[in-house]
Amino acid sequence: MTKELMPDGRPQYYVTTTQGMSGYFAVCMWWAPEYDGFREPWQTGVGRYATQAEAVVEAKQWAESDDMEYFE
């Protein structure tokens, strides 16, 4: 994955956590170049958790294993 920084200062791909109807989960975000560029989800992690702290564990492991950065 590229480490190039996008206009918002983050790398093109990074891992974070979010919350949806299924609970908290890890998500890989990327910089979509259309319409002057914007962040959007690229792929979600495998787990769904009751707390954000549980999702952070997966997100950090994912980021490390795929040589990406983790952002809160």
- pLDDT value for 37: 84
Residue 7 is predicted with a pLDDT of 77
Give me the pLDDT at residue 2, please. 54
How far is 27 from 70, CA to CA, in rounded Å? 10
Q: Note the pLDDT of residue 1.
A: 56
The token pair at 42 is 């690229």
pTM (predicted TM-score): 0.84
Residue 13, exposed/middle/buried by CB under 10 A (0-12, 13-18, 19+)? buried
User: Average pLDDT, whole number, for the chain?
Assistant: 90
Q: 21-61, pLDDT tens digit by residue?
A: 999 999 999 988 888 888 899 999 999 999 999 999 999 99
